[in-house]
Amino acid sequence: MKEAVVSFLQGNIGKNCAGHIEGFGAWLNARILDVKGNGDVLLEFDVREEMLNPMGTIHGGALAAILDEAMGMQLFVKSSDEDVFFALNISVDFVKNAKLGELLTVSTEVVRIGKKTANLKSVIWNSKNEVVAQGSSNFLKVSSI
């Protein structure tokens, strides 16, 4: 686990990530809700207009991206400094829709970090504590510095 990253995240509870990460993750703009001493991170995402499908509910791709972002961040926190991982796959179960302006909370569990792969699972809830989507992903360790 990266203690310095955990401390940084704990110091930024309630703040958005966009100023601290780049690319697509910055666009998703997670808000850090909580960071446990063991490195477990709880994130929140705003459902924005550009995340919607033509029916006015959150696009499945946006939900998959949120799950991927949360799992990737959790793996980054819990893996060693020299390890680099890339997602091999993602499996998503779409359970309920979400609409513009809703807040979605995401928790992630590291199932296993092995010598060559890591396995994670994640759940997205709405403000009524209803599951919106859940997923799992396998990551490949591509290098150890």
Mean pLDDT for back-to-back runs of 10 residues, the chain (145 residues): 91 91 93 94 98 98 98 95 94 98 98 97 98 98 79
Alpha helix positions (H), 11-57: 23-28
Please give the pLDDT value at position 18.
Answer: 86
Note the pLDDT of residue 145: 60
Report pLDDT for 144.
67
pLDDT in the model for residue 88:
97
Task: State the pTM of this model.
Answer: 0.94
Is residue 67 within 8 A of residue 91, CB to CB? The reply is: no
Pairing of strands 117-125, 83-94: unpaired
Inter-residue contact 32 to 15 (CB < 8 Å) = yes
> What is the residue extent of each domain of the chain?
3-144
Superfamily per CATH, domain 3-144 = Hotdog Thioesterase (3.10.129.10)
**Which residue do the tokens 């199932």 mark?**
111
Question: Residue 90 and residue 23: Cα distance in Å, rounded?
Answer: 20
